[in-house]
Amino acid sequence: MHVPFFRYPHVVEEHREPLEKALLTAARSGAYILQADLRAFEEELAAYCGAQFAVGVGNATDGLELNLRVAGVGPGDVVLLPSHTFVATASAVVAVGAKPVFVEIGPDHLMDPEDLEHRVTDRTRAIMPTQLNGRTADMAGIQAVAERHGLVIVEDSAQGLGSRFRGRMAGTFGVAGVFSFYPAKMLGCLGDGGASITDDEGAAQTLRELRDHGRNERTREVVRWGRNSRLDNIQAAVLRMKLARVDEAIAKRRHLAHRYHENLRQVRQLLLPPPPDGTGDAVHHDVYQNYEVEAQDRDELRAHLTKNGVGTALQWGGKGVHQFPALNIRQSLPRTEAILARSMMLPMNTSLTDSEVDYVCEQVIAFYDTWS
Ligand X SMILES: *Cc1c(COP(=O)(O)O)cnc(C)c1O
> Smaller CB distance to ligand X: residue 88 or 257?
88
Q: Indicate the residue among 61 and 206 with the shorter CB distance to ligand X.
A: 61
Distances (CA, A) of 304 to 308, 355, 369: 6, 19, 12
Closest distance to ligand X from the beta carbon of 268 (Å): 30
Q: How many CB atoms lie within 10 A of CB 371?
A: 12
Minimum distance, C-beta of residue 8 to ligand X, in the bound complex (Å) = 15
Taking the least distance from each CB to ligand X, the nearer of 110 and 301 is: 110
Of 45 and 60, which CB lies nearer to ligand X in the complex structure? 60
CB of residue 60 to ligand X, shortest distance in Å: 3
- Round to whole Å and give the CA distance between 149 and 126: 10
For residue 277, the 8-state DSSP code is P
Smallest distance from ligand X to CB 248, Å: 22
Contacts of residues 261-267 at CB distance under 8 Å and 24 or more positions apart, as own/partner, are: 263/357, 263/358, 263/361, 263/365, 264/293, 264/361, 264/364, 264/365, 267/364, 267/365, 267/368
* Cβ–Cβ under 8 Å, residues 126 and 95: no
How far is 112 from 278, CA to CA, in rounded Å? Answer: 25
Smallest gap from residue 290 Cβ to ligand X (A): 9
Closest CB to ligand X among residues 86, 260: 86
- The distance of closest approach from Cβ of residue 100 to ligand X in the complex, given in angstroms and rounded to an integer, is 13
Buried b (16+ CB within 10 A) or exposed e, 31-47: eeebbebbeebbebbbe
Nearest approach, Cβ of 159 to ligand X (angstroms)? 4
Give the DSSP H or E segment for 367: helix 354-371
Min dist CB 5 to ligand X, Å, is: 15
* First vs last C-alpha separation in the chain: 24
| Nearest alpha carbon to residue 55 among 189, 202, 231 | 231
Task: State the minimum distance, in angstroms, from the CB of residue 86 to ligand X.
Answer: 4
Q: Which is nearer to ligand X, 88 or 237 (CB)?
A: 88
Helix then strand then coil, in percent of the chain rounded to 5, is: 45, 15, 40
How far is residue 93's CA from residue 332's CA, in Å, rounded to a whole number?
19
Sheet holding 124-127, edge to edge: 99-103, 78-82, 124-127, 152-153
Residue ranges binding ligand X (CB under 6 A): 59-61, 85-86, 88-89, 130, 156, 158-159, 180, 182, 192, 194
Nearer to ligand X, 37 or 156 (CB): 156
Judged by beta carbon, residue 163 or residue 269, the one nearer ligand X is: 163
3-state secondary structure of 368: helix
